[in-house]
Amino acid sequence: MATGSLGHERTMLWMGYADRLRELIVDFRPSRPLDRDRYATLVMDAYALRLIGSAALARADRGEQDIPPSRY
């Protein structure tokens, strides 16, 4: 029960953070080369966050564990 609840909370945090990144990307207006580099990094981070989070949601939907067990 606790694991499922924590997984749900992590999902909500992930979705909220991903939405905030998307809003930042939409509002960001890079003007200098360093700003454009930061913007590109931000866009890549947002895509990575969405992909990792979507994979976790897909695993949860299939009933799989959220975090793979450790080998050690």
Q: Quick one: how far is CA 49 from the chain centroid?
A: 3
Closest CA to 56 of 44, 64, 48: 64
Domain boundaries, the chain: 30-63
Indicate whether this model's pTM tops 0.75. Answer: no
Q: How confident is the chain (72 residues) per 10-residue block, as mean pLDDT?
A: 59 83 91 94 91 82 70 59
CA dihedral 44, 20, 27, 33 (to 10 degrees): -30
> What pLDDT shows up at residue 3?
53
Three-state secondary structure call for residue 70: coil
58: phi > 0 → left, psi -120 to 50 → alpha, else beta; which? Answer: alpha
